[in-house]
Amino acid sequence: MATYSTNEFRSGMKVMLDGDPCNILENEFVKPGKGQAFNRVKMRNLKNGRVWERTFKSGESIEAADVIDLDMEYLYTDGEFWHFMKTDDSYEQVAADAAAVADCQNWLKEQDVYQVTLWNDDPIAVTPPNFVELEVTDTDPGLKGDTANGGTKPATLSTGATIKGVPLFINIGDVLKVDTRTGEYVSRAKT
């Protein structure tokens, strides 16, 4: 297995720490003029999303994590697993569990493409694109003529997710563009 030394650490590098794959976010070199050198590293645990800091002696090595991000098409869920297919015409599929899909459940639409993070070929995280377009399945009826005063209401989408900040003129059946990072309404999708 490949290893990386602290002086090779770069943000975006995937390494193993305490048995979990992590993504390096920041690497800070710390050294008193006459003392030993350290690297204070901020990393995100890719399994639980938590960010933590760890200090290494400079020159220490840690194991690289076999982690890749792949664009995959969402197929369906059987209730226990969410199935994704590679987009390279190999038709190869992977099944992600609820822990991997996590909040991305709110934004999954069949046939759309998501980023699936594979660790040793197992999916550990699913990341939606920044914007998704989803149909409204439930919302209070639109109020005619009330388009200017900026009032908003919640709306439930086809995935079951409820978003806030939806303008009053939006109706059931409309397709909305949603920012998945904030979970907020952006606009009505162009049809």
Partner 1 sequence: MSDWRPSARFEHLQQRAGLLAQARAFFAQRNVIEVQTPVLAKHSVTEPDVQSIQVPDYGYLQTSPEYHIKRLLADGVPSCYQLGPVFRHGELGRLHNPEFTMLEWYRLDFNHRQLMYEVADLVDELLGPKPYQHLTYADLVGGVASGPREMLDLAFAEACERLTPGRFFITDYPADQAALARINPDGQTAARFELVIDGVEIANGYWELLDADEHRQRFAADGEIRRHRELPAMAVDEEFLGALEHGMPKCAGVAMGFDRMVMLACGAKDLSDVLAFRGTR
Which positions lie near partner 1, rule CB under 8 A?
A: 7, 28-38, 55, 57-59
Report residue 3 as tokens.
Answer: 């290893």
DSSP of 99-168:
HHHGGGGGG--TT-EEEEEEETTEEEEEE--SEEEEEEEEEPPPPTT--SS--EEEEEETTS-EEEEEET
Q: 101 with 128: CB under 8 angstroms?
A: no
Q: Output 11 or 36, the one with its CB closest to partner 1.
A: 36
CB of 33: closest distance to partner 1 in angstroms?
Answer: 5
Radius of gyration of the chain (CA): 22
CB of 27: closest distance to partner 1 in angstroms?
Answer: 8
Q: Output 37 or 113, the one with its CB closest to partner 1.
A: 37
Work out the burial of residue 153: count CB atoms within 10 Å of its CB; fewer than 13 is exposed, 13-18 middle, 19 or more buried. middle
CB of 38: closest distance to partner 1 in angstroms?
Answer: 6
CB of 69: closest distance to partner 1 in angstroms?
Answer: 26
d(CA 53, CA 135): 41
Q: Output 38 or 119, the one with its CB closest to partner 1.
A: 38
Residue 189: closest CA among 164, 157, 162: 157
Q: 53 with 27: CB under 8 angstroms?
A: no
CB of 2: closest distance to partner 1 in angstroms?
Answer: 19
Q: Output 58 or 158, the one with its CB closest to partner 1.
A: 58
Q: Output 40 or 86, the one with its CB closest to partner 1.
A: 40
